């Protein structure tokens, strides 16, 4: 049976779905604006039981020390500053007041902004839930705890660990996304399939094993969402995975740009704050460049070379976008090509080891791994170059040579640091 190339049978069908999505988007915007108007009524907004996510030191132009606090409430995340050492710890519960005067609707919609604060009151320390505590308590080193906290539960990481990650260019491996969903899905399927197959053959041979297990795993992935929260890259990946599963059931081609853009459209309509998420943008771009390779070159090589070239292709494709937002470049980042391949084994292995309380086996190796540094430099990418790169990438869907030009243009930052 041949697969249909598109989810939409005709333009009329596309138009109805698009209009339905726009209605949902407008409803969400109106709802958010109503909440924003209530928020702005109080110029001095009182917040109870906020959670301190991060707390680090910076210096102003006069070399005066101050503290940056990243705080999470039930409705939003915000940054504030303090010129006093308040002796705070991560996960500290706080009561405080913020000044809302300079917060606009765009800031509120993005659900992450800066606000001056005062009357800060320390409460107790918020304890992680039992699952997260079980995983993290297997590690004594704080940086390793942060690493696994981000890897498995999307917990925030310190500037120190962020710097280590940027040196290797492996932020995409730590940020929970489609890569992780694929590995989790495969691991659970591999474990449960033999057990389910035994009972299926004996009691209900009429059932489809792949369909039933897929439904079960998607339920587990939804429960995982409850554990880690609405992580932008994870939400995009989960929506796309469910949408892709639906297309497979309907015998419609999955790996195409329409699938990606439809998934993005659904996510933004349901969660408008994703319009302002860098993580969501990186997630979209990563999948886009994978599809771009498959679109132009997947039939040119066998499976082994496709996997090899796809890793190199994706690394190069994401270099300029990542540097634009995080301007650190190092030849050490080329190691991410090999680390991405190793991660396919490392992630499910460490996940299983944590479940059986042996999660600390690689702690010493990881500490040495993060301590290793090659020369790095900051390279600023002007906005016009970034925008031109995005436009050229979209046009390269049509033009194969332009796709090659876009990808290899990402070598320029590495050439610059050699000069």
DSSP 287-326: HHHHHHHHHHHTTTS-HHHHHHHHHHHHHHHTHHHHHHHS
Phi, psi of 300 (to 5 degrees): -85, -20
**Residue 127 or 36, more confident:** 36
**Cβ(54)–Cβ(106) under 8 Å?**
no
Mean pLDDT of the 169-181 span: 84
**Cβ(173)–Cβ(232) under 8 Å?**
no
Band (4; pLDDT cuts 50, 70, 90): low
What angle is formed at CA 137 by the lines to CA 133 and CA 143, rounded to 5 degrees? 110
* pLDDT value at residue 9: 59
Mean pLDDT of the 313-337 span: 89
pLDDT digits (tens, 9 = 90+) for 228-260: 887 877 887 888 888 888 877 777 766 678 888
Band (1; pLDDT cuts 50, 70, 90): very low
For the record, the structure tokens of 99 come out as 């000044």
* pLDDT value at residue 6: 55
Per-residue pLDDT at 144 exceeds 90? yes
Band (365; pLDDT cuts 50, 70, 90): very high
What pTM does this model have?
0.83
Residues 6+ apart with CB under 8 A from 223: none
Domain-by-domain residue ranges, the chain?
1-41, 42-127, 133-418
Q: Are strands 77-82 and 112-114 parallel, antiparallel or unpaired?
A: parallel
Q: What is the CATH number of domain 42-127?
A: 2.40.50
* pLDDT value at residue 59: 79
Per-residue pLDDT at 406 exceeds 50? yes
Band (2; pLDDT cuts 50, 70, 90): very low
Q: Give strand pairing partners of 71.
A: 52, 78
């Amino acid at each position: 049976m041949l697969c249909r190339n598109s989810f939409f049978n005709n333009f009329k069908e596309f138009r109805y779905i698009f209009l339905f999505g726009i209605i949902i988007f407008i409803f969400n915007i109106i709802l958010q604006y109503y909440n924003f108007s209530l928020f702005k009524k109080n110029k001095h907004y009182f917040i109870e039981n906020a959670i301190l996510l991060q707390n680090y030191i910076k210096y102003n132009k006069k070399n005066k020390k101050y503290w940056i606090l990243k705080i999470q409430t039930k409705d939003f995340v915000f940054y504030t500053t303090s010129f006093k050492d308040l002796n705070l710890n991560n996960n500290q519960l706080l009561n405080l007041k913020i000044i809302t005067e300079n917060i606009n609707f765009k800031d509120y919609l993005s659900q992450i902004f800066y606000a001056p604060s005062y009357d800060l009151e320390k409460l107790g320390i918020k304890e992680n839930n039992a699952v997260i505590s079980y995983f993290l308590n297997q590690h004594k080193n704080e940086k390793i705890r942060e690493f696994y906290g981000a890897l498995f539960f999307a917990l925030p990481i310190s500037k120190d660990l962020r710097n280590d990650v940027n040196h290797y260019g492996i932020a995409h491996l730590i940020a929970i996304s489609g890569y992780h969903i694929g590995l989790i899905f495969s691991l659970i399927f591999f474990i449960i399939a033999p057990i389910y197959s035994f009972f299926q053959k004996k009691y209900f041979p009429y059932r489809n094993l792949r369909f039933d297990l897929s439904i079960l795993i998607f339920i587990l992935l939804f429960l995982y969402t409850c554990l880690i929260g609405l992580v932008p890259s994870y939400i995009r990946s989960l929506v796309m995975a469910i949408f892709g599963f639906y297309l497979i059931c309907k015998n419609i081609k999955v790996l195409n740009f329409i699938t990606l853009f439809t998934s993005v459209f659904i996510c933004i309509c349901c969660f408008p704050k994703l319009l302002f998420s860098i993580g969501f943008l990186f997630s979209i771009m990563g999948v886009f460049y994978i599809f771009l390779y498959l679109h132009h070159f997947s039939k040119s090589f066998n499976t082994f070379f496709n996997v090899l070239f796809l890793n190199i292709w994706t690394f190069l494709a994401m270099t300029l976008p990542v540097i634009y937002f995080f301007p650190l470049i190092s030849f050490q980042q080329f190691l991410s090509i090999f680390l991405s391949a190793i991660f396919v084994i490392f992630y499910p292995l460490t996940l299983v080891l944590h479940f059986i309380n042996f999660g600390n086996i690689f702690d010493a190796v990881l500490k040495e791994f993060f301590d290793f540094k090659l020369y790095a430099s900051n390279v600023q990418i002007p906005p016009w170059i970034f925008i031109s790169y995005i436009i050229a990438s979209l046009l390269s869907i049509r033009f194969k040579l332009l796709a090659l030009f876009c990808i290899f243009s990402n070598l320029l930052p590495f050439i610059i640091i050699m000069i």
